[in-house]
Structure 1
Amino acid sequence: MNKNSILYLLFILLFAGACSGTKNLPEDELLYTGATVKVEGDATPKKERKALKAEFEAIVRPKPNSSFLGFRPKLFVYKIAGTPKKQKGFRYWLKTKVGEAPVYYSKVDLEYNKLVLQNHSENNGYFNTRTAADSTRHGKKAEANYTVIPKRQYRIREIKFPQDSTILSTAVRDTKNRTLLKKEEGYSLTTIKEERLRIDARLKEKGFYYFNPDYLKVQVDSTVADHQVDLIVKVKEETPALSQTQYRINDIIVYPNYSINANSLVAASASFVKHNDMTIIDNENLFKPRIFDRTLYFKKDDLYNRTHHNLSLNRLVNLGTFKFVKNEFKVADTIGNYLDAYYYLTPLPKKSIRVEVLAKTNSANYTGTELNVNWSNRNVFKGAELLTISAFGGLEVQVSGVNNGFNVYRFGTEANLVWPRLITPFHFESSGGFVPKTKATLGYEFQNRTKLYSLQTFKGSFGYLWKENERKEHQFNITEITYASPQNVTPLYQEQINANPSLGKVIEKQLIFGPTYSYTYTNTMEKRRINSFYYKAGLDLAGNIAGLATGANLEKGDTIKVFSVPFSQFVKVENEFRHYLKLGGERQLASRVIAGAGFAYGNSNEMPFIKQFFNGGTNSIRAFRARSIGPGSFDGSTTTNTFLADQSGDLKLEFSTEYRAKIYDIVKGALFVDAGNIWLLKDNPDKPGAKFSKDFLKEFAVGVGAGLRFDFSFLVLRTDLAFPIRKPYLPEGNRWVLDQVSFGNSSWRNENLVFNLAIGYPF
């Protein structure tokens, strides 16, 4: 063994000793390395013993220091950080956030853990279980050893509900069809507790406002048969009379200008308005009473139920007008078995202004900044309407690349008015906890591409937003109008158009109007799910009614213009599906599929440029620059050597899969594969190979890469480094380029490595 090998070995041994955590331990301490649990005995099947072992290992405490291949890097970091002089700074962060304090064996209570294992067994029907506890020492380390010998599990023979005829007992008995207690299943104290909560929740839907799950008991009779039990659900005799009473709603009193000041209610009571079943107490007349008619679910004489209680509160919060929402029910003084409902609402400041300064970058090497100023009025017409007026301005420059010097300047303004109701000629009733909304938008943007052209865009829309529940959301715009007009087209850009006619589409005058609809479904907020989904579908129908009414037909020369501009006529459909699979710990497999199609007809020969599909970039196929892929096998980079076109298409297919895992505290890593392309529906002589065909799968672009995500809670900063392994524009048979990957070759890196910096996850 040579000298270098010996030094290397010594370094490894020293590092291993340091990372093992046993160096510099206090004299009377041992490092705790964890617990082993043995489940023995033949009274329970092998499968049950295996499941019990996993449960037991999860509940013993304390947990040892985290380790990797026998090393304890977090403990090592904790020790090298030393003692910070202040509770801030890098050393303090390193010690408390990255490092991990040593777990000593002196913190282990064998008898307590033994009792925990015993109780867990008994609570799951393994009565008369025997447990034992011991420990094993290895040098400066120690581990705990537990042995559990469970008996045969007791199973449920029968479930009995109250049989008397009182209102409360009858209501409890009526819930039995959905009981969590099932015959032949093992006895479980946890399930019994959940059953009490379930019954209480059902009773809350039937007017029993003051009932509590503690007023229920489940008696266990273990004498009925061999290793079987009967469960008897009963209402406790000491249950108060209030809890046995079904209540209806009496008066509904709303304080829409409530202050924490105790005298505010007394002062406000001097002025009130009666509106249907409600009393509105609003001295300053801030809100129209009809807001609460649409927001509150309860009406006079309604049977109290928890669902309407919570939905009313959700709607008040979702109005976006109130800072605090408080609700209280009191037994009515004037009539028995009735509740008075009180709502105390503290408004947000009516007017506010927000200023934002943003820095941004994209995969086309453009970096820049943007200033946004937003002014809001949260109650502009006293109906909780939200008026937002914003102004923005920004600059984007390309430090290097084909667009160097072609800077982008943009500024504009936008006004949005949102009504907390649907303004329609017909009645629409939403039963969810979310207030349906009507939204109107007007906007203007001026964009100047230095040395090329300017483009001004006017837009407007009017439509509706509503949620069925937290998972399903709809947005329907009766119309969206977009008018785009070019200005200051330079001779340089005109030369580019002469060389590549498709660039002319970017600066064509556009008039787009028509209805749009989108539907979103997601259950990703349900954190316990192993599999969660997100789906969004969009439909865009531009100029269809106008085209039918006017008989527009471009192919026959019957082009119809509005304000001297031909209006666009097309149908566009887009679908996005995401799937998230939890792999345990903080590991996840995230996948996405996007499929879209657009078809122009009637008054249009092709889709407007701003409505077409694109591929590549920070949130698409990350191994390729933004909008640089396709369409089909067409290579857009060959059409010009001074200006790179934005490649667009009528069809789009895109797939992505990303493995995500936590690396260190706020740092998370990802490995990903992206694939897809865009295509045209019609032949374009300027773009050979761009038309969609049966061989479309052979024209997929594929990229792979890795990235880091820095999760700062308030935002996620994402960095991705990717490179292509399949290039669709190469000759067929040569498109896979995995064998050409050469990280040590500077020319390969310059041509293929793409760095993406972005905010948030790609999907």
Structure 2
Amino acid sequence: MKLALRHCSIFLMLLLGLSACSVSKFIPEGHYLLDAVKIESDNKEVKPSEMRAYVRQTSNAKWFSLVKIPMYIYSAAGRDSTKWINRLLYRMGDAPRIYDPELTEETREQMEQAVRNMGYMGAQVGAVEVRKGNRLKVHYVIRAGEPYTVGSVAYDIDDYRIAEYLRADSVHRMLAPGMRFDVNVLDQERQRITQYLQNRGYFRFNKDFITYQADTTLYSKQVGLTLKLAPYRRKKEDTPAPHKQYHIRDVNFIFDSDFSDLSTTGLAGLDSVRSGGVNFYYKDKLYLRPRVITDYNRLQTGDLYRLRNVQSTYNALGRLNILKYSNIRFEEDVKSDSACLDAFVTLSRNKNKSVAFEIEGTNSAGDLGAAASVSYMHRNLFKGSETFSIKIRGAYEAITGLEGYANSNYMEYAVEAGLNFPEFMFPFLSSDFKRRIRATSEVTVKYNWQIRPEFERTVASAAWSYKWSKRRASHRFDVFDLNYIYMPYRSETFRSYLDEMDQRNPLLRYSYEDLFIVRMGYTYTYNSSGAASMKTAQRNSYSIRFNIEESGNLLYAFSKIVNRHPKNGEAFQMGNIDFAQYVKMDIDYAKNFMIDYRNSLVFHVGVGVAVPYGNSKSLPFEKLYFSGGANSVRGWSVRSLGPGGYRGDANSLDYVNHTGDIKLDLNLEYRTHLFWKLNGAAFIDAGNVWTIRSRDMQPEGQFKFDRFYKQLAVAYGLGIRFDLDFLILRFDGGMKAVNPMYTGKDRYPIVSPDFKRDFTFHFAVGYPF
């Protein structure tokens, strides 16, 4: 291992040395390689990180902000572009950035103007060139000086109605005496006023009608600011007129047609129906119930035009899976004393039904297999955009290392069906409430049948849940989730094994017993960037995920009322089958720090606690925490770490023992763009799981405050990600650094690593956090 690392290091250093020498051949005589760009500011209000947006020429990218590997890859190629190897290196690499003084001057001017727009009217930006050989560094030095401030704010608005509106909204004004004379804030105030008026009927209003007059006095850095409102003119030659407020007159929904002439005559050839104050135009057949559209429509006849109602209608219609897209257009009818709008909403239908077929290969701890599935989806089951889906799956796996059985085949059959309603389905709820919450309701039914040589296991479940989102936050409320685990067959050999392990590890037997799980849960997720979890954010951002669930409390209370004591003296039963009782809570937090557009640092912490009580001595196996794997401590394979300092054995069922009631994950990952669609990562992971109660064979696995931090497993490693836009394939290689399962020198494999023992490879889809 050490010899291999030494050889790799020597080869890498030799490659970098040769490439560095070859960079010069791409630098024309009399020119310089742009080696670095640095920005300095003498004012903490003017942040260099914000000024980087104005830099017109940057130096070559660095992997992990350390080495310009892409430039060296490019420079390793020859000048002959007809050779395929050179063209490949060109595409993989990054051409040396030759310094351009014109771009530097353009950057300096734009940066200086940006600082002056912030209120520092006397700001000066200098560009200092530092040459060394054929390389050059540019330092932009910002001297902001003293800022100009707003001495007074006045409003020159002749339109009495708009003046009254702005007076009523004065609490939200962004302009105030004493503030820095920031042009960016002035423009934000224009946009705020524009949006405010567009939500009060002013359909034709835009920010160009708002101007400022700034007066300065001699030898003073104070500005007298006046906000002016220009009268309405559609064209320059038009006579000035007051701004008109528009009302919605007619609302028309057009199905499967796109008209350039959206008028009464243009719609004459279509069938029509009127419902809920809305006109519906369609060909042949209306595929959506009118009530569905009226419930999702926010444009009401007689109301003032409001931009937010237009956007709300777009968002509401976007939740209907049967619709591919929607488009809203308005026709004006302006008279001397009134202004009206006719709304025309065109709806394009999505595919009503679809069938998909999938084939996949499986690898479970070295056991190879294959699986196939077929799924069917209907996006408009009851003409209300209800989505019905059903999926049937079958899998086969050849099990190795299993002795004493006639066959070694693992078969799995599963069927899953779901029905999604695009509204909050609950009795006695008003339409207004359903509109405000914008939730979807989902009912799912699943059945899974596992056939192994040792046992057969079936899992049947049914659930009812609600989902809704608002801005960057999403919510999920599982009202009812019933899971029934049934073991119809266990071989005599397997029963004997469970009996033998019963005294040492009762959890193993508990994992293979019949069980009811009746749970209720709530999940809250917030992402400050609004990015999908699969993609990494392109700016500083953070995400929070909180989940809490409980199981068995209602059944336990009912059982206590009916029977004061359980029949068997240990646990109450439902239909002669035990039911689980527990409470479980998880919190995940991730923070993304953008270093530049190619590099970021991501920190993640995840904490979970689950407490079995009442009717349960232990959590169901499916609800226990485990550590290790592609999204946890990556120096260990999945379900192979913990609890605490528990070492385990080589038994094929020992994965049951590597579980706990408490989990802690700490992760730090540096992400960098390599080239093409390849991204790289360097990471450090720490974490483990622990039990709340002491297990006979795992006394070192119980959580205790005075030792848990000593039992944290630590790993480090590198990863490659293929970013295919719609899919991210992730390959991570982790090495153990601190192994709490051992003592002595084996506890710290980072000092004397053993590749065979300490390395673990992971393949996954999406980012780990």
TM-score by length of 2: 0.83
Q: Report the equivalent of 1:614.
A: 626
CA distance in 2, matches of 1:37, 1:422: 53
Change (3 A) 1:619 1:164: same
Q: What displacement does 1:114 show?
A: 5.2
Matched, 1:584 2:595: yes
Q: 1:664 aligns with which of 660, 665, 674?
A: 674
2:459 alignment partner, one of 448, 457, 465:
457
* Cα 1:308–1:116 shift into 2, 3 Å: same
Measure the CA separation in 2 of the matches of 1:676 and 1:423.
Answer: 41
Secondary structure in 1 matching 2:496: helix
What is the distance in 2 between the residues matched to 1:679 and 1:222? 71
Q: Return 104-113 or 344-353, whichever deviates more.
A: 104-113
Instruction: Measure the CA separation in 1 of the matches of 2:569 and 2:66.
Output: 78
Shift of 1:242: 8.7
Question: Does 2:282 correspond to 1:282?
Answer: yes
CA offset digits 1:64-109 (Å, max 9, x no partner): 334689975433322434579799x88655423x322333345735
Q: Distance in 2 between matches of 1:182 and 1:220?
A: 14
Kept in 2, the 8 Å contact 1:222–1:229? The answer is yes
Displacement after TM superposition at 1:436 (Å): 1.3
SS of 1:201's equivalent in the other structure is: helix
The structural deviation recorded for 1:628 is: 3.5
The SS at the match of 1:557 is coil
Pairing partner for 1:715 from 694, 719, 727: 727
TM-score (norm: length of structure 1): 0.84
For 1:427 and 1:559, the matched residues in 2 are separated by: 39
1:212 to 178, 192, 206: 206
TM-fit CA distance, 1:174: 4.0
Written as runs of structure 1 = structure 2, the 5 A alignment for 1:234-249 is: 234-237=228-231, 239-240=233-234, 244-249=243-248
For residues 201-229 of structure 1, give each alpha carbon's deviation from its aligned partner in whole angstroms, at most 9, with x where no partner exists.
22222221221111111111122761111
How far apart, CA to CA, are the structure 1 residues paired with 2:160 and 2:363? 69
How do 1:187-586 residues align onto structure 2 when only pairs under 5 Å count? 187-223=181-217, 226-237=220-231, 239-240=233-234, 244-259=243-258, 266=266, 270-283=270-283, 284-332=285-333, 336-361=338-363, 364-366=365-367, 368-396=369-397, 408-427=410-429, 429-430=432-433, 435-449=438-452, 451-477=453-479, 479-501=480-502, 502=506, 503-525=508-530, 530-542=540-552, 544-545=554-555, 546-551=558-563, 553-554=565-566, 557=569, 561-563=573-575, 565-585=576-596, 586=599
Residues 430 and 660 (structure 1), Cα distance of their counterparts in 2 relative to 1, 3 Å cut: farther
Specify the alignment match of 2:708 in structure 1. 697
State the partner residue of 1:596. 609
What's the C-alpha RMSD, in Å, of the aligned pairs?
A: 4.0
* In structure 2, C-alpha distance between the alignment counterparts of 1:145 and 1:743, rounded to whole Å: 44
CA distance in 2, matches of 1:469, 1:130: 40
Alignment partner of 2:156: what SS?
Answer: coil
Q: Aligned in 2, Cα 1:762/1:336: closer, same or farther, shift over 3 Å?
A: same
Partner of 1:61: 56
Instruction: Please give the secondary structure, in 2, of the residue aligned with 1:758.
Output: strand
Distance 1:464 1:105, change over 3 A: closer
- Separation in structure 2 between the aligned mates of residue 70 and residue 690 of structure 1, nearest angstrom: 41
Cα distance change of structure 1 residues 214 and 267 upon mapping to structure 2, 3 Å threshold = closer
Letter in 2 for 1:357: I
Please give the secondary structure, in 2, of the residue aligned with 1:507: coil
C-alpha displacement of 1:138: 5.5
Quote the offset at 1:454 in angstroms.
1.8
CA contact (8 A) 1:324 1:347 kept: yes
Mapped partners of 2:203, 2:391: distance in 1: 46
Residue 663 (structure 1) shift: 5.2
CA 1:347 to 1:550, structure 2 compared with 1: closer, same or farther past 3 Å? farther
**Equivalent residue number for residue 160 of structure 1:** 154
Task: Tell me which moved more, 495-504 or 408-417.
Answer: 495-504
Closer, same or farther: CA 217–762 of 1 in aligned 2, 3 Å: same
Aligned partners of 2:262 and 2:344 also within 8 Å: no
Contact kept in structure 1, 2:722 and 2:728, CA below 8 Å: yes
Q: Which amino acid letter does the alignment assign opposite residue 554 of structure 2?
A: N
1-structure distance, mates of 2:208, 2:87 = 46
- C-alpha displacement of 1:24: 4.6
Tell me how far 1:644 sits from its aligned partner.
2.6
**Residues 406 and 336 (structure 1 numbering): CA distance in 2 closer, same or farther, change over 3 Å?**
farther
Percent identity between the two aligned chains: 19
C-alpha distance 695-28 of structure 1, shift in aligned 2 (>3 A): closer
1:43 paired residue number: none
* CA displacement, residues 134-162 of structure 1 (integer Å, 9 cap, x when unaligned): 86766545566877776643222122223
Aligned-residue offset at 1:677: 1.4
Task: Verify the 8 A CA contact 1:599 1:650 in the aligned structure 2.
Answer: no
Structure 1 residue 710 displacement after superposition: 0.8
Report the equivalent of 1:677.
689
CA 761–446 in structure 1, closer or farther in 2 if over 3 Å, else same: same
Contact 1:318–1:434 under 8 Å retained in 2 = no
- 2:767 corresponds to which residue? 761
SS at match of 2:292: helix
Query: What CA distance in whole angstroms lies between the structure 1 residues aligned with 2:347 and 2:673?
Result: 44
- Could you tell me how far apart the structure 2 residues matched to 1:410 and 1:320 are? 31
Deviation at 1:667, TM superposition (A): 2.0
Shift of 1:389: 0.8
SS at match of 1:61: coil
- Write the letter of the residue equivalent to 1:593: G
Residues 551 and 306 from structure 1, CA distance in 2 versus in 1: closer, same or farther, beyond 3 angstroms?
Answer: farther
> Does the residue aligned with 2:494 lie in a helix, a strand or coil?
helix
- Rounded Cα–Cα distance in structure 1 between residues aligned with 2:560 and 2:156: 68
Contact kept? 2:19, 2:73, Cα under 8 Å: no
**8 Å contact kept, 2:394–2:412:** yes
CA offsets 1:366-420 (integer angstroms, 9 cap, x no match) = 5544323221000011011000011112244577899999664322111101111
Equivalent in the alignment of 2:639: 627
In 2, Cα distance between equivalents of 1:759 and 1:312 = 34
Aligned to 2:73: 77
Structure 1: 5+ residue stretches without partners: 1-6, 40-45
Q: Please say which of residues 688-697 and 167-176 is displaced more in the overlay.
A: 688-697
CA distance in structure 2 between the aligned counterparts of 1:407 and 1:623, rounded to whole angstroms: 30
Write the letter of the residue equivalent to 1:257. D
